[in-house]
Amino acid sequence: MLAYLEGFIEHKSPNYVIIDVNGIGFKVYATTRVLADMPDVKSRTRLYVHWHIGDGNMALFGFTSEQQVDLFENLISVSGVGPKGALALMDALSYEQILLAVVQSDDKSLSRAKGIGSKTAQRIIMELKDKLHMPREIKSSDTAERISDSMYGQAIEALISLGYAPTEAAGALEGVTTDGRSLEEVIKEALRRF
């Protein structure tokens, strides 16, 4: 029914934003990744949305691309994964990391998200493996190699456990080489970038 909302940001909170579209305020839930990338209050923005109706409630969930909406809709189609679980997963891992984890049957990466246990992660893989495919540009880039680099994944987890948001952790690790270095050295270099 709704594909996107375009308007002015009235209010931002840690888990939602209110967008004024011609005098109507829409409360849109989003990941911290999406909210961190949004402009300041009173700025114009566009969010692609999923209107979720379930359990007697209605809610809007916002994303920066149609691909993210598709991923969200695929995730909530898995039995046992609701909107909160899908948002938690999309907060813990990037779009590319989720696709890679599903394609490579990596339930450990998926279960890093709050509320996604090992069994749920395995169910996500089982139900979505044939639906989700890695885009050619991701396969051919070094993104897939970097995401599957266990040192990089451990460093991301360590920074998140120190209280940094997933996007902050990924940004701090951008350009940090892991070859021949200890996890401690990688984390120390990333911390110097904050």
Query: How confident is the model over 178-189, as pLDDT tens digits?
Result: 777 888 888 888
CATH number at residue 91: 1.10.150.20
- Is the same domain home to 78 and 121? yes
Sign of CA dihedral 148, 153, 155, 159: positive
Nearest to 29 by CA among 9, 54, 50, 45: 50
Q: Which segment, 99-103, 146-150, 156-160, 171-175, is predicted with the most confidence on average?
A: 99-103
Mean pLDDT of the residues in the chain? 85
CATH number, domain of 161, equals: 1.10.8
Shared-domain flag, residues 114 and 166: no
Residue 60 and residue 72 in one domain: no
pLDDT of amino acid 32: 92
Which carries the bigger pLDDT value, residue 95 or residue 42?
Answer: 42
Cβ atoms of 96 and 135 closer than 8 Å: no
Same domain for 27 and 47, yes or no, is yes
Residues in the chain: 194
Domain containing 85 equals 67-141
Phi first, then psi: what are they for 50, rounded to 5°?
-120, 125
- Same domain assignment for residues 124 and 155: no
pLDDT, position 138: 46
- On whether both 79 and 131 belong to a single domain, the answer is yes
CA distance linking residue 180 with residue 189, whole number of Å = 14
pLDDT tens digits, one per residue of 102-126: 888 888 889 988 889 999 999 999 9
Q: What percent of the chain has pLDDT over 90?
A: 49
Helix intervals (H) in the chain? 32-37, 66-76, 83-92, 95-103, 107-110, 118-128, 136-140, 143-148, 150-161, 166-173, 183-192
Is the pLDDT confidence value at 67 over 70? yes
